[in-house]
Amino acid sequence: MVEAYHRKSSWDKATAWLAERTLTGDAAAPIKLVSGSLVNFIEANGSPLKGAIEGVEWDWLGRNRWVVEGWEIILDAHPGAGSTLRRIRDNGGYSRTHALRISTVDGAQFMAVDAEAAMEAIHLALGFLAGRFTAPQFEGIRANGERAWQEWATPKVDQLTHGHQELWSGHRGQSIELMAAPLIKAFLNAARRPTLAFLIQAHLGANGSALLEQRLLLAFAAIEHLAWIRLVHEQGKNPQKIDSKGAEWRIRRMLTDFQIPTTPPAHLPTLKAYAATTNMDSAKAVTELRHALTHPKDPHALYAQVGLLREAWLLTSHWLSLLILAWVDYRGEVIDTSDLNRWGSDTITTPW
């Protein structure tokens, strides 16, 4: 049924929802807050919370509170979220792991349409940090505490068993707000919203369970997309000149603009050896592999070196995550997802 829906000619919205979001109830009613649940998120410790569930007292570090562009966003981990996440990581499945709340900083009432961008910003930003699609489900709450409307949709959710790599680690004690807030702020900018939605979903797709070839092509295309947005639309450069420079130049330009190294890293030895054969940097090496997929001269040569495509994908996906963070002005620690030999809590500092 979902596949048939996607084949409809009216479907043209790039989104991580398998069907268009529908609000049941009175979507035009003034509301005090948007309340919701988040499915299959990550462990994100915060400030202390206390509560009683079925007569049992709980005390845990579970609250994250952010203020972004006039919105107050509260993310509360459920008691025992850690054990729940470990269970579904081992066995698969889905669970509500966090509660969400969105309200205005000044306490003013608002309409559902006013919060639409904030709801989608939270959806995609938190998925980006988790490295996979997570799913919020929202409802609008009136000032008297009654529900005005409820969201009805089929959001895409990835299970934790598929090996997706997270971009944020709570093991070092760093607040998730440092990375989430710039992403949400950028998404609330209407001029940047369509591009950021595409880039985040491209990264999640490239970090997913598709074929290696598909992941590499998707990450590469997203970097080229951002290069065009940044150079032509934001900096006003001549589109014909940018087009004539070629993909390799555009990829390298994006990396050097943000001081991202173009030397093939030692933890990707097959890609490093491939680049060394003709003294290539990693921008040229990855571009040649992308071209070999789309315009193959020798269909067999691409697969002759075991692990080459895998390492090219790892690096290109990592580049895409860094460039998204650079574009939204995040500075700080991030996980190098191209290095699979790192410790789980290891991070690098953004180079820009």
**Residue 53 has what pLDDT?**
62
Give the pairing type, strands 56-68 and 71-77: antiparallel
* pLDDT confidence of residue 175: 77
**What is the spatial distance between Cα 123 and Cα 127, in angstroms, rounded to a whole number?**
6
pLDDT tens digits, residue range 207-246?
887 888 999 999 999 999 999 999 999 999 999 999 999 9
Whole-number Å distance between alpha carbons of 254 and 224? 9
Helix 112-130 × helix 193-206 angle, to 10°: 30
| Statement: the pTM of the whole predicted model exceeds 0.85 | yes
Question: Taken in order 131, 137, 139, 145, is the CA torsion positive or negative?
Answer: negative
Give me the pLDDT at residue 1, please.
46
**E-assigned strands of the chain?**
22-25, 33-39, 47-53, 56-68, 71-77, 96-104, 135-141, 147-152, 333-334, 348-349
**C-alpha dihedral, 68 to 73 to 79 to 80, nearest 10°:** -50
In this prediction, residue 143 carries a pLDDT of 96
pLDDT-flagged residues of the chain (< 70): 1-20, 48-56, 58, 60, 162-163, 170-174, 344
pLDDT of the residue at 51: 65
CA gap 247, 227 in Å, rounded: 10
Tell me which residue of 38, 159, 152, 44 sits closest to 94, measured CA to CA.
Answer: 159
The pLDDT, as a whole number, for residue 277 is 92
pLDDT in tens, 293-308: 998 888 788 888 899 9
